[in-house]
Amino acid sequence: MTFPKVTQTTTAMIYFGTFLVSVLSFFTTFSGMLILLSWPLALLGALGLQIALLGLAWNLMKVKSNRLTYVTVFIVAASFSVFFSYANFNFSLKANTRGHKVRGEYAELARPIVRQYSAIAKETQFKGTYQVERLNQLIEMEKRNGWATVVDEGSQDAFVQSVIDGARRTVDSWQQKQGYDYHQGAGEGIIVNYLNTWQQQLGQSMTAVDDYLRFTDSAVMALSGATPVEEQHELVNQVAMRLPVGEIRQITGQAPTTLPEPPSTAAYIEKPMNSQEALMLVIGDLQEMDRLTFFSLMFAIAVDLIVIVMAFAGSRTTDEIDYLFSRVQKDSYRRTRKMPLGDPYEMSRSLDKNLERMQIASRYGLALSKARQEFERNKKAITLHRGPEAVAEPTESGPLESPVSKWVKLDATHSRLKRAVTSRD
C-alpha cells in the first residue's frame, strides 16, 4: 500500500532532518563554547545541551507530572545553546570587520591627544623663533656699538630678559675683577661671546622641538584603521614620553603641567587574548546591536528553533504510534492470559494472530498520522453545502443526524431524481 509508505517516508524525513539540524546546532554551540572554554569542556557542554534539548523536546508532551520543572530545564538549555551559537556566528562574521572598526575608533580617540602634544611643541617653536631673532639682534647691536649696549636693553620675553640680566651680571663681575669700568669697543668681546653661547643652546633646543614636531606629524598620519590598536597605543605613548620637557621649560620659562595620558586599550579589543575578553566582546556586541550582531543572533535562534519544532513533530507521531502499540500489547496480554497454556497449537495460533494484530496496528498508526495531516491541510479548503432540511432543529422522535450523513442522503436522493428524469425522456 502506498499510504503507509508515504507516512513512513515522512516520519523518517522528520527524524533524519532533526538529526542533521541537531548536528549543525551541536557544532555551532561547540565552536561558541570553544571561544570561552577548553575543547574538552566545550565538547562535553555542547553534547550535554543537544542531548538535553532533543530528549526534552521528544518527551515533553508525554510528561504528566513535574512538567514545569522539565519546561524550565528545557528553556535554560535552549538559552545556553542559542547564546553559544550566537557567539560562534558573531566571531565568524566579524573576524574581518571588527579589527577595522576597533582600530578606527581608537585612532579617532588618539589623534586629539597627539595634537595636544603637538600644540604645546608648536607654541614653544613660535616663542623660540622670536627668541632666536632677538638674540641675533642683540649680537649685531653689541658688535656694532660695543660698550655693553645690551645691558641697557629690556624685553617682555622671559628668556630674552634672562639673557640680558645675565649680560649685566657678566659686566659687573668683570668690573669687580678688573677694578675699572668695562670699555669694550665695537667688535668681539665678552658680551658677544656670552650671547653666542646662549644662541647655541637655544639652537639646540629649537632643533629638539622641530624634531619632535616632525615625529608628532608622522604619528598623526600613522593613527588609522590600518594600524593595530596595540601599535597605536605604543605610538601615542612614545609621543608622550619623547616630549622635550627641558627644552620647553628653557624656551617658555615653565614646564607643561596638564599633559593628557594615552588612551587605554581595555575597551578596544581586536582579538581576545583570554576568555574574559571574549565574553566582554560577545556581551558588548549585544549591548550595541548592529546588523551583523542581529543577524548572528537571529541565525542562532533559527537553528535551535528548527531543532525544537522538528523534535516536537516527531514526538507527536511517536506518541500516537506508542499509544496504538500499548493498546495492542494490552489486548495481547489479555488474550494470552485466557489462552490454555497446555495446548501448543492454540498458543502458536494465538501468537501469530497477535503478531498480525501488531503489524496491522503499526500500519494503522502510520496511516492515522498521515490522515490527520491531510485532514488538517484540507479542513479549510473543503466546505460542505447543506440544504434547508439539514438545518432542522432536533425533535423528540430521535437524535439529531450528523451533517455528513444528511449530505449522503441528499446525494442519494439527487441521484434517484436524475435517473427518474432520464427514464421519462
Query: In what helix (H) or strand (E) does residue 201 lie, and over which residues does it extend?
Result: helix 190-222
pLDDT, mean over the chain: 75
Q: What is the pLDDT of residue 23?
A: 81
334 — pLDDT class (breaks 50, 70, 90)? low
Residue that the C-alpha cell 608648536 belongs to: 122
Q: What is the pLDDT of residues 152-182, one digit of tens each?
A: 777 888 888 888 888 888 878 877 877 666 6
Predicted TM-score (pTM) of the model is: 0.52
Q: What is the pLDDT of residues 229-271, one digit of tens each?
A: 888 899 999 999 999 999 998 888 888 877 888 888 877 777 7
342 — pLDDT class (breaks 50, 70, 90)? low
Residues in the chain: 425
CA distances from 266 to 163, 214, 289 (A): 48, 29, 20
40 — pLDDT class (breaks 50, 70, 90)? confident
Question: What grid cell was written down for 48?
Answer: 550535554
Question: What grid cell was written down for 260?
Answer: 593628557
CA distances from 410 to 61, 386, 417 (A): 42, 9, 11
Residue that the C-alpha cell 651680571 belongs to: 169
Q: What is the pLDDT of residues 53-67, one digit of tens each?
A: 777 776 666 666 677
How far apart are the C-alpha atoms of 97 and 85, rounded to whole Å?
19
Question: CB under 8 Å to 233, separation ≥6 — which residues?
Answer: 106, 110, 262, 263, 265
330 — pLDDT class (breaks 50, 70, 90)? low
How far apart are the C-alpha atoms of 196 and 194, rounded to whole Å?
6
pLDDT greater at residue 325 or residue 360: 360
